[in-house]
Amino acid sequence: MEPARLLPDPGPWTVLGLMSGTSADGADAALVRIDPEGFRGGRPFLDFLGHVHHPYGAGLRERVLAAAADALPPSELCALQRELGDHHARTGRDLAERLGLRPTFAALHGQTVQHRPAAGATLQLADPYVLAEALGCPVVWDLRRRDMALGGQGAPLVPLAERWLHGAEGPWIALNLGGIANATVWDGTRTLAWDLGPAMSLLDLAAARWLGQPFDPDGAQAQGEPDDALLRRWLDHPHFHLPPPKSTGREVFGAAWLRAEEGALDRLPLARRLATLAAFTAEACARELRTHAPALPGAPLLLSGGGAKHQAVRRGLAERLPEHPLVDDLQFPPGAREAVSWALLGAASAVGVPANLPEVTGAARAAVLGSWVPR
């Protein structure tokens, strides 16, 4: 069904964005006001209305990570889709009820459990039908696979949304430190974006493994001296030898990777293990930016995502990229930015505006993304 038939409201629209990142820690919902006519001038975003984060319970998160590690049978994967759909529906309904607002429509990302660009395949679990029933509004979802059908990576998709939020004045570098680190580089004329490597995926798994907690708050335990030999070996991973466009996920930098390295890491004191993993994130980001991005001295490094609070990662970035001042993303509350971006990508689908950038994803052409579920 065409979005125009689903959305007779000329706008402004109240759009709910729902995002679950590779950190696999829960669902973020953001409500924003969007002017559909604003896409003509590149500034459709009007107002930020609110945000909630609903964390996954321990059992749900374990099943999500098991799915990412290819360790769930199809029957459990099927049930997990519904459980994640219920979780996202509760999250979105909670925010709408708190604000006393009914969304014009919702844009649902779902939880990525597999992302295999070499096979042209990706899998995000959630249930748009459950969400449409819970909210009483249309839902757009499955925004990545159209790009992959065109030969693209299906990621990253947020760079165009970053431009709609930051505007055309540059240069700037938006660095999102979720489970995976991704960067959008805008030099004032063109966009470059790709997945740099691991951000918090390995550090959070290490916190669960050695600290018995889902993450290390502010990186307080990562205070040792990094192991240089391990860093050199890790940075020789094939991902770092590929040029953009490229994307990655927990299939590469996740539980299987950490299990393979546990023997080497267990020989180190705890603080050095965590410090070495933090240095891996910082060095991977710095090398990728130096290798593939244009030289933009003085361009701010706009930090978002949970890793922006990790002090060892922050120090590592500041030491390795001194030409770029670190600037915290204060436009939105922590965790809200990608949900806002997804709301914008959903709105682009509603007005028929292509939302992938072929120069970023490698797709054969730009295309309108997503499938629609009526209310």
**pLDDT value, residue 2:** 66
**pLDDT value, residue 167:** 75
**pLDDT value, residue 207:** 94
At residue 97, φ and ψ (nearest 5 deg) are -70, -40
Nearest to 323 by CA among 143, 183, 171: 171
Domain 3-154+338-373 has CATH 3.30.420.40: yes
Q: How would you write the chain as a 3-class SS string?
A: CCHHHHCCCCCCEEEEEEEECCCCCEEEEEEEEECHHHHHCCCCEEEEEEEEEEECCHHHHHHHHHHHCCCCCHHHHHHHHHHHHHHHHHHHHHHHHHHCCCCCEEEEEEEEEEEEHHHCEEEEECCHHHHHHHHCCCEEECCCHHHHHCCCCCCCCHHHHHHHHHCCCCCEEEEEECCEEEEEEECCCCEEEEEEEECCHHHHHHHHHHHCCCCCHHHCCCCCCCCHHHHHHHCCCHHHHCCCCCCCCCCCCCHHHHHHHHHHHHCCCHHHHHHHHHHHHHHHHHHHHHHHCCCCCCCCEEEECHHHHCHHHHHHHHHHCCCCCEEECCCCCCCCHHHHHHHHHHHHHHHCCCCCCHHHHCCCCCCCCCEEECC
Cα–Cα distance for residue pair 260/103, rounded to 1 Å = 45
- Please give the single-letter amino acid code of residue 123: L
Q: Which two tokens stand for residue 370?
A: 């997503």
CATH of 158-328, one of 3.30.420.40, 1.10.10.10, 3.10.105.10, 1.10.3720.10: 3.30.420.40
Per residue in 183-215, pLDDT tens? 999 998 889 999 999 999 999 999 999 999 988
Contacts of 212 (CB under 8 A, 6+ apart): none
Nearest to 131 by CA among 330, 317, 371, 320: 371
Whether pTM exceeds 0.85: yes
**pLDDT value, residue 250:** 87
**pLDDT value, residue 21:** 85
At residue 196, φ and ψ (nearest 5 deg) are -80, -35
> Residues 144-148: contacts with CB within 8 Å, 24+ apart?
144/369, 146/356, 146/367, 146/368, 146/369, 146/370, 147/356, 147/361, 147/363, 147/367, 147/369, 148/117, 148/120, 148/121, 148/122, 148/363
Q: Which two tokens stand for residue 342?
A: 């997804």
Length of the chain: 375
Cβ-contact 36, 44 below 8 angstroms:
yes
Indicate if 158-328 has the same CATH topology as 3-154+338-373: yes
Q: Which two tokens stand for residue 21?
A: 């990142």
**pLDDT value, residue 111:** 96
Within a 10 A sphere around the Cβ of 108, how many other Cβ atoms? Answer: 31
Instruction: Show pLDDT as tens, one digit a residue, over the chain (375 residues).
Output: 566 567 767 889 999 999 998 888 899 999 999 999 999 888 999 999 999 999 999 999 999 999 998 999 999 999 999 999 999 999 999 999 999 999 999 999 999 999 999 999 999 999 999 999 999 999 999 999 999 999 999 999 999 999 899 877 879 999 999 899 999 999 988 899 999 999 999 999 999 999 999 889 889 999 889 999 999 999 999 999 999 999 998 889 999 999 999 999 999 999 999 999 999 999 999 999 999 998 999 999 999 988 999 999 999 999 999 999 999 988 888 889 999 999 999 999 999 999 999 999 999 999 999 999 998
Nearest to 312 by CA among 182, 180, 203, 183: 203
Helix axes 74-99 and 58-68, enclosed angle (nearest 10): 130
Give me the residue spans of the domains in the chain.
Answer: 3-154+338-373, 158-328
